[in-house]
Structure 1
Amino acid sequence: MVRISDLSNELLIKILTFLPTKVAVSTSILSKQWQFLWMWLPKLEFDDYLIINGPDSTLRFRDFINKNLPLHKSPVIESLLLRSCHRRLPQPENIKLWVGIAVSRFVRELSIGYFCLHDDGPDAPLPSSLYTCSSLTTLKLEGTQIVLDVPRVFLSPFLEDLATSTCDILKRRLSWAASTALPCS
């Protein structure tokens, strides 16, 4: 019989990819072997639907990402999901920082959902490094608070899938960017 402690780190990381990121991070207390495994996950999912449990849950959500995302060691992030839907959204500078970290780790798929339960939530501009991310293949954006300041040249040569939903400001700007800067296939 094979014990879980006999499994390779590569196999354990593969198993952890099936868990929500918050649960995968919590496995670090199991043993020394598990302590840093989550840091090598190729897919990260930060969703405050899984964290909301009280009035300070937005702060816990922000603090959880601020503490753990910079510790991530995988040279490539295959997929990053950031989703926040709450009365008090994370500050726009947090979103900018998180996307910037993902871009520096050669993110391939990026999905951001940024919704405020009230329409007066803060706008979340995305960092300019997103528009020159050569590794990005999929970009999905949802939320009326997402703001893109699309530069004249949008250099993301491998971008295959661009999806927006309820991004009122975004749709107008992206239609211009897509027609003038993205290659047609």
Structure 2
Amino acid sequence: MQYIKGYQQLFLLDNEGNIVFRDIPRILGAIKADCTTPTLTVFKGHNYTVMHVKFQFAEEVKHRQAEREFNQRLTQGQRYILRELRRFFQFITDEKVKSEVNIIEKAFRGSINQVINRELNILRRNGFIGQELFNQLVQIYHQHNMQGWLNNSLPTLSEPIPIIICSEALE
């Protein structure tokens, strides 16, 4: 069984190290034993096989996390301002302004409340673009103290760390 914060998985492998089952009831039925079940020594490549499955699981979790971030629901107002900020960013030469745009984009990409969403929709309806849009977003950012949101966001694992809770070799 492997565990990464928020993700757990059982694996049953065949003798070649291929995953046979991930279904918990089937795996538990396959490894069911009592005190009369004889024990065996672990085969030579057991640790390598376990580490290979651990690596596969970590890659799968990274993929799931990336997919979840990508599929995060953005409102119509958010999509508009993010699209316009990307266009504005292409024409900026000042590195300080570029870093400010990145901060604003990160803040507005996250979860926002209804009041901010309403203000973004007003910006969209009024056709704000470029520097004018950026100035309005900076004002909203400070008005709603969004800088505190970035600092208090929940930590995410940049590198998932799988933990092997148990590995067994069966005959």
Same fold (TM over 0.5): no
Q: Higher helix fraction: Structure 1 or Structure 2?
A: 2
Q: Higher strand fraction: Structure 1 or Structure 2?
A: 1
TM-score, with length taken from structure 1: 0.19
TM-score, with length taken from structure 2: 0.20
